Each structure stands twice: as C-alpha cells, then as structure tokens.
Structure 1
C-alpha cells in the first residue's frame, strides 16, 4: 500500500510494524525522539515535508513482513484519491485581531490559521477548538461555520470555522511543526497571508472585526 500523506498515527503504525522503540525509530528517521513522542500524543498531526520524505524512505526500504504488519495496523486506510483528507481551520478573533501560526514547511512567511485533521465521523468544531489549544494554548469557542472548499495549494478538504477567543495568549506549543504564533491585526492580515490565498468568506467575516 502507498501512503499519500503521513500523519502522526500512520508514523506510529510504521514504528510498531518495525518493532522499534521511540529512540531507535527517531534515529532511523533522523529526527528528535520528542518528535516521535508528539506523533503518539497527537495522531492527527501532519508532519512537515522533509519528515514526510523520511517516512516514505523508511517505508519503501522496509521488508515485506514489515509492510504486511503496517497494512494490518492501518485502520481505517490512509486517504486515497477517492478519500480526501479533511481539515478543520480555526479563524480565532478578538478585538480587531486574528490568531495565526507560522508553519515551518512553507518558508519564513508561511503564516496560516490553526488547523487539524478531521477523522472520518469526527466533528470539525471539536477539532478546531482542540488543535488551536494544542498548537497555541489559546482557548476558543466556535461561533459559526464559514464554509468549505478544496484548498487550492494543498488539495485537502478544508472546513473553516469562525471562533471567539475565550482566554490565553498565543505560545508556540508545537515547535516541531510551527516556528511562531501571534495575534495579527485584522486590518493587516494580507501582510501575513496573500489575499488570493484567503478563503473569501473569511475576509467577509473579518470585516466586522477590523
């Protein structure tokens, strides 16, 4: 079976199929053991591209018995061309500001809204709130759904939710995936994310918070 997108859960299944401990598996991938630990604690996380490539290499070099164990461990199957990966995107606002995270996989100015994978049967609102807290320490609540689309850059099915800030200041709690997090002025959002990359209903919803 071919893996299109590795998640923390699939990486942990590969580790189990190889019958390796955390440190041994981290050494084989060339990553810090804490990265492997993060995959275990947050199975929905999507590792950045260089880690995706490292996992591909380890899987491709695995012996047939390892691949068979991996296939038996994967439940449900990983996303395929007919099973689009879904993510919940949290647009968290407070007093003229919106919460952003800076992803490591897209260059020094690749700012995004907090997001997390929605498993089959999962609730996007729950994922949006949980992942925002896990990535930034900010507590929020969902106010309304803004819509969904196939993301033009990543190809995933993105569901956008407008959220209200409840408490907490942004802190980068996921340094393996993010390099920074902050409150950006709504009026200056396009300085962080190009306007043509922002889902139009987000801009409409944020006009009331500028």
Structure 2
C-alpha cells in the first residue's frame, strides 16, 4: 500500500505555478463544495510520484509544460477530506489555455492581491508562504 488504505480514494497533487509575477488558477466546471477556483490538480495515479502527478495534471488541464521545483507540503483538505500534496512548479514551455474542456471552465493568472477574490477561505499556510515570497506585491 502507499500513503492510504485500499478503501480510500487516491491522493490529489496540486501544482503551484508562478510565472511573471502571477499564480495560475483554474475554475472547475463542477465545484467541489465551495471550491471553485483552485490550482491545477488531479489524482495521483498508481506508481506515480506526487510531483510527477502535479506536472502531468498541469499539462493535461492547461497545456503548460512545467517542472516540479519542490514539494511545499501536504494535508488532508478540510473541505474535501482528500489527501492533498502541493508542489511548486516552474513553466518551461507552452501557453496556458483550457486544454481539458470537460473539467475546466476557465483559467486565470492571478496577482498576489487578487488571491482572496479567487480563494476567499484562505490557502494552505505553506502555499501562502510560498506565494508571499514568489509573487510581486
């Protein structure tokens, strides 16, 4: 077994992609509870590392080619109950667009001051600390 029991759903890997002073956020077609805007993310596949899953999901959802820089942390998400892993990623190619139209409604490059408008309930503290340091204010 990996990080979870067999009866639990796989963990979810999120990519924190900062580029030109903004962070990439996506809006899902179907909200998960009050989660509407979030980071590119998806389930970690069997045998896949969490960093690899974050990179793969970012490409599948947005068309961006990114590389994992470092894992920022993980937690059980308070709204979904899912094990979440957050990985800081760097853009190495491509142009961001809604590549997975079944899952995403839109995407946005969000400035530091705009984050509370997209995520009014706040971010996981290690992610917030990373964005505080990485984004133009």
TM-score, with normalisation over the residues of structure 2? 0.85
Q: Indicate yes or no: 2:41 matched with 1:105.
A: no
SS in 1 for 2:30: helix
Partner of 2:87: 161
Larger radius of gyration: 1
Partner of 1:92: 17
Q: Deviations over 1:79-126 (max 9, x none)?
A: 97853420111000012100111011129x811100111134321111
TM-superposed deviation, 1:133: 0.7
Q: Deviations over 1:129-178 (max 9, x none)?
A: 11101100111111111110001111110011011112222111111111
Match runs of 1:158-197 below 5 Å: 158-196=84-122
Name the CA distance, whole Å, in 1 between partners of 2:63 and 2:112.
Answer: 20
Q: Indicate yes or no: 2:36 matched with 1:130.
A: no
Task: List runs of 5+ in structure 2 lacking aligned partners.
Answer: none
Q: Determine if contact 2:16/2:40 at 8 Å carries over to the other structure.
A: yes
SS in 1 for 2:45: coil
Q: Determine if contact 1:137/1:169 at 8 Å carries over to the other structure.
A: yes
Q: How many residues align?
A: 132
TM-superposed deviation, 1:185: 1.1
Distance 1:168 1:187, change over 3 A: farther
Q: Determine if contact 2:45/2:53 at 8 Å carries over to the other structure.
A: no
Name the CA distance, whole Å, in 2 between partners of 1:95 and 1:190.
Answer: 19
Structure 1 or 2: more strand by fraction:
2
SS in 2 for 1:110: strand
RMSD: 2.4
Structure 1 residue runs of 4+, over 3 Å off?
A: 79-82
Structure 1 or 2: more helix by fraction:
1
